[in-house]
Chain A
């Protein structure tokens, strides 16, 4: 062999720890940035990444991947898939790009923090590649939607969303800033790569890719499957770090970070992915319900990932298993009713056929969420549109920044979980949200939710118009019903038939 095998020199490329003497180890790796688990450099040298890749392999493989994704885009550019897509599907794209594209780019900085501050040399090299991956994901998910900006003003939000105080974006930033932008290197590896990427992005990307392929949007399907192949590499950065922590008696700290990140990810998915899968994706293109996806990807696979690692299931697992059949229905109803406050057009998704599907997937849906939808539907059918729009804001949780909600019907269970901390009263949507806050109150206590800002007079005038201006949402951007209420015709016809009989 004239060329060495990768494993002949791989270990040398990750033998890069040295003992600093012109500065101290704590100066080189400040505990707040590096991860203050009290472990010296040599403890971290045992870190062994399961997915090994070298620089030359990386640039070759990634070049090929890009060639694939970009050529599909180029080939389909004149296909009018966007123009002809179901409006519900367009909303999926708008919500996805806005909430995800620049968040992925921000993740490059989180990877760069692991690169600079981790004491594990293998992690530093893998994060170098991870950082590049996230630049890729940010750039692709801006380049692809840019094709559509001249067709639809809401597509501008693929870029703009992160710069605004739109309520969903405050929630998205609060979550991503908490788990990746403001944590030390080791915590980033646990919270971003192990908890969020291993646990959740599989679902957003593979689940959506399946729906996209069904909906005929091959560009999008191809794009996000290609992204997922990177995720499945750099998501493995956290696992070996957890191993080091557990071996060094730090399981409780590791577990706490997993529990906080998983809960936050779940809440974000309940508002972003749940409505997309169960309401926006046209009925005939739905592969599985959101709950089924959650059970397959999160419950089954992530449970295994946790136990393989020697971690426990989060203490709130029972609450979580119950909520995956409920929370997103409330999030959907909320974002639909408050549709002027989002940058996409929510699809109601409640025609009789769709309700039958919901009832099948979520027995009892008609007796709970269905009752509330009946009221909205009646108002729309009656032309009573003033009643079908909001006038003010819903109350939001001081942890996840999302509306505090419960399940309607006979078992109406909405409940506030309050906490007084340093003289200020905080409100949470669940016991778990409150617990997350209590783990490190100083991270969160000084933050004002959008409702706190409203009540403090920071949003003027204090009505929906003032709130929309605060959220940078103008007519032309504000959401409205995806199908312009065409679905109400079925109910009008049903009503007419009933009358006639």
Chain B
């Protein structure tokens, strides 16, 4: 041992030191945090054949979506926990100031009762839909092969909980203004049985049962989320503005700020994935497989959405434009 060189302190973690540049706070606290990729036969320190080891070997490390180093992924906005809270506390202050202001102006009592019926059917059941994104993001996050990819999903999970919370809040308010529309009681029935929601429910139930990480990250983020962003946030927001519901329009705009952030890291992720030969065809194959289900969901939802002419076509085109913009 005496002949061996004695290691000296480095300027940063040894795993980041080789690059000879100062790492950001984001890299110091976000990169290479998973430890389950060190022993290929046994991601976790237990019997190699126990079920969770098999689950990760198959679904995380065995996926067809390959890259030599997923740990090289970086969130373009370098969101860390503390900046996430600063950012979202600010956003929530804005949204709750809207709630406060519109409530003071008795916004809901000024709404057309027919529009209130539309909200009971097209808007308040969305808490179930947002919850499915929350769940799906939690899954993709926990099986992602790089902590930087995982973290984007955990923040996306939290953002979905945020959207769900807005819906729950508004559901209660609407139930106070309109006692006869089934607010705060019929949402589950709409979600489970109304034709408007069945496309999204089918899409999300099936998305939630994709266990392969590669397929799951693509289906959730490139298929399901864009469909929801375009139909249930953007088109519903338009419909709201056309029906005197300024509050809902502003609310969906605020939520679309989160969705735009999700798309920015996704664009970086797709660019990285396309570095590996074969991934383009693989991803295109998954898109071809899942796009019809998303289109069906958009059609079912937008067909009867009031005062948004050509809404389904525009929403579907927007999902395709987004995918095309990523080179897909």
* Nearest CB of chain B from residue A406's CB, rounded to whole Å: 26
Q: Per a CB cutoff under 8 Å, which of B35, B127, B136 touches A163?
A: B35
Q: Tell me, rounded to whole Å, the shortest Cβ–Cβ distance linking A308 to chain B.
A: 29
Q: A18-B191, A156-B14 are in contact. Are A128 and B157 (CB under 8 A)?
A: yes
Answer yes or no: B246 CB below 8 A from chain A CBs. Answer: no
Counting CB contacts under 8 A, is B268 at the interface?
Answer: no
Check B103–A13 contact: CB distance below 8 A.
no
CA distance A140 to B34 in the complex (A): 16
Q: Count B-side interface residues using an 8 Å CB cutoff.
A: 85
| In the complex, per-residue mask of A7-22: 1 if CB is within 8 Å of any chain B CB, else 0 | 0111011011011111
- Least Cβ–Cβ distance between A45 and chain B, in angstroms: 11
Main secondary structure of the interface of B (DSSP, over half): helix
Which residue on A lies nearest to B97, using beta carbons?
A: A3
Q: How far is the CB of A116 from chain B (nearest CB, A)?
A: 4
Interface mask (B121-153 → A, CB under 8 Å = 1, otherwise 0):
000000110010011101101100001001100
Are A16 and B50 within 8 A (Cβ)? no
Scan A96-115; emit 1 where CB is below 8 A from any B CB, else 0.
Answer: 00000010011011001101
Cα(A470)–Cα(B168), bound, Å: 54
Q: A473-484, CB under 8 A of B: which get 1 and which 0?
A: 011110000000
With a CB–CB cut-off of 8 A, which chain A residues contact B80? Answer: 139
Q: Does A436 sit at the interface, judged by CB under 8 A?
A: no
Decide if B157 touches A115 in the complex (CB within 8 Å): yes
Q: Is B325 among interface residues, defined by CB-CB distance under 8 A?
A: no
A63:B6 contact, CB within 8 angstroms: no
Asked if A4 CB lies within 8 Å of chain B CBs, one says yes
- Contact (Cβ within 8 A) A59 B44: no
Given known contacts A150-B11, A156-B10, A476-B7, A142 and B29 CB-to-CB distance under 8 angstroms: yes
A182 touches B53 (CB 8 A): yes
Q: Which of A8, A128, A159, A174 contacts B46 (CB 8 A)?
A: A174
Chain A residues 411 to 465 lying within 8 A of chain B, measured CB to CB, are 442-447, 465
User: C-beta contact mask, B70-96 vs A, less than 8 Å → 1, else 0?
Assistant: 000000000011101110110010011
Q: Within 8 Å of chain B (Cβ to Cβ): is A149?
A: yes
A128 vs B134: C-alpha distance when bound (angstroms): 8
Task: Check: A229 CB closer than 8 A to any chain B CB.
Answer: no
Query: Count the A-B residue pairs with Cβ separation under 8 angstroms: how many?
Result: 243
Known A-B contacts A18-B188, A116-B135, A132-B81; A56 and B172 likewise in contact (beta carbons under 8 Å): no
On whether the beta carbons of B141 and A12 are closer than 8 Å, the reply is no
Distance in Å from the Cβ of B136 to the closest Cβ of chain A? 8
Give the nearest-CB partner of A56 in chain B.
B92
Is A2 a contact of B104 with CB atoms below 8 Å?
Answer: yes
Chain A CB within 8 A of B158 CB: yes
B136: nearest residue on chain A (CB-CB)?
Answer: A116
Known contacts A116-B138, A153-B10; A15 and B208 CB within 8 A of each other: no
In the complex, the answer to whether B85 meets A59 with C-beta atoms within 8 Å is: yes
Query: Among residues 137 to 168 in chain A, which have CB atoms less than 8 Å away from a CB atom of chain B?
Result: 138-140, 142-143, 146, 149-153, 155-156, 159-160, 162-163
Q: How many residues of A contact B (CB 8 A)?
A: 83
B19 beta carbon closer than 8 Å to chain A: no
B49:A159 contact, CB within 8 angstroms: no
A116 engages B147 (CB within 8 Å): no
A136 on interface, CB distance cutoff 8 Å: yes
- With A2-B100, A4-B172, A443-B50 known as contacts, the answer to whether A170 contacts B45 (CB < 8 A) is yes
Q: Is the CB of B46 within 8 A of A443?
A: yes
Chain B residue with minimal CB distance to A440? B50
A124 — which chain B residues lie within 8 A by C-beta? 131, 134-135
Say yes or no: A442 contacts B4, CB within 8 Å.
no
Which residues from A are CB-within-8-Å of B12? 146, 149
Identify the interface centre among B34, B50, B99: most chain A CB within 10 Å of its CB: B50
**Min CB gap A345→B, angstroms:** 14
Given the known interface contacts A15-B188, A60-B89, A475-B5, the answer about A105 and B33 at a Cβ–Cβ threshold of 8 Å is yes
- List which A14-33 residues lie within 8 A (CB) of chain B: 15-16, 18-23, 27-28, 32
B129 nearest CB across to chain A (Å): 10
Complexed CA–CA distance, A426 and B169 (Å):
57
Among B7, B35, B49, chain A packs the most CB atoms within 10 A around the CB of B35
Are A20 and B205 within 8 A (Cβ)? yes
Which of chain A's residues have a CB closer than 8 A to the CB of B252? none
Cβ of A70: which chain B residues have Cβ within 8 Å of it? 82
> Is B48 interfacial (CB-CB < 8 Å)?
yes
B142-183 to A contact mask, C-beta < 8 Å, 1/0? 100001001100100110011011001101110000000000
Within 8 A of A (CB), among B5-55: 5-15, 25, 28-30, 33-36, 38, 42, 44-53
Excluding A13-B168, A131-B138, A143-B29, 11 further A-B contacts by CB distance (< 8 Å) are A2-B101, A18-B201, A22-B202, A56-B165, A70-B82, A109-B150, A124-B131, A139-B30, A170-B45, A465-B1, A475-B6
Q: Can you list 11 A-B pairs, Cβ within 8 angstroms, ordered by A?
A: A2-B104, A4-B173, A18-B191, A109-B150, A135-B151, A136-B81, A143-B28, A146-B12, A181-B36, A447-B46, A475-B5
Q: Give chain A's interface residues, CB within 8 Å of chain B.
A: 2-4, 8-10, 12-13, 15-16, 18-23, 27-28, 32, 54-56, 59-60, 62-63, 66, 70, 102, 105-106, 108-109, 112-113, 115-116, 121, 124-125, 127-128, 131-132, 135-136, 138-140, 142-143, 146, 149-153, 155-156, 159-160, 162-163, 170, 173-174, 177-178, 181-183, 442-447, 465, 468, 474-477
